[in-house]
Amino acid sequence: MRAVGLHADVIAVTSRVYATGCVLVRSGGEAFCIDSPVFPDELEILPAMAAQAEFNVVGLLATHADWDHLLGPYAFPEAPLGCAESSAARLINEPGVAQRKLREFDEEFYVERPGPLSLGASQRLPVPGRIEVGSQELEVLPADGHTSDGMAIWIPWARVLVCGDYLSPAEIPMVGFSVDAYLATRARLEPWVEEAEHVVPGHGGPIDGTRAAAILREDRTYLEALPDAALPLARRTGAQRKIHERNVRR
Ligand SMILES: [Zn+2]
């Protein structure tokens, strides 16, 4: 797991698997943990890391309801989970799905957890909207297309965008829900990307605003050319070809 300070109030943590992104953000003595790393040792060390850096985590946020972004309760079991209404609805309508997918991952890679994933009732956040943290506010916009749910989070005072599974330097657009919705989310994110010092995508580690803007352009070219699209040059691997084949089938 890698941890990088992007700003005095923002730490980006990158998991060893899928380069899954997690962000700690603080203001005025309280902090949120956005999304999560994946492996048990990473989740175990996260609270000590946060405490040492004086990030007092009082709440969890999830960019969307896919299992690999929901593991925060392992690190901060007392902290309530907040997510977009669309994600809260997904968690209710797909009971046990995140737990089952996590179990499949753990079985495949022989990973042992201290216990099952417990996702209590999540707090539904209005999106678009604002979320208070200490004396500051996070801004959120809907981010669907990859899945049917989700939100992107803008940290205005640090100019950091935490966008969920969009704008990845490692992964081509994974269109699990709708190409049109994906393109709309992409367009919605554009003004923030232009202002961003850093962007933390769901997978691939933090990047600077310039790189994110280039990915934004590549992703549009790719999506608009589907089903005959060429893969973006820097993301032309065997694994990405499989994602592309799934996009085309859909
Ligand atoms: Zn993901």
pLDDT tens digit sequence for 29-80: 999 999 999 999 999 999 999 999 999 999 999 999 999 999 999 999 999 9
Termini Cα distance of the chain = 33
Instruction: Measure 25 CA to ligand 1 centroid, in angstroms.
Output: 20
Query: pTM value?
Result: 0.97
Residue 80 token pair = 């309530």
Residue 112 token pair = 């042992």
- Closest C-alpha among 105, 27, 108, 31 to residue 72: 31
Instruction: Measure 203 CA to ligand 1 centroid, in angstroms.
Output: 6
Instruction: Measure 64 CA to ligand 1 centroid, in angstroms.
Output: 8
Q: What is the pLDDT of residues 157-172, one digit of tens each?
A: 999 999 999 999 999 9
Instruction: Measure 146 CA to ligand 1 centroid, in angstroms.
Output: 9
Q: How far apart are CA 1 and CA 44, in angstroms?
A: 11
Q: What is the pLDDT of residues 91-108, one digit of tens each?
A: 999 999 999 999 999 999
Instruction: Measure 68 CA to ligand 1 centroid, in angstroms.
Output: 6
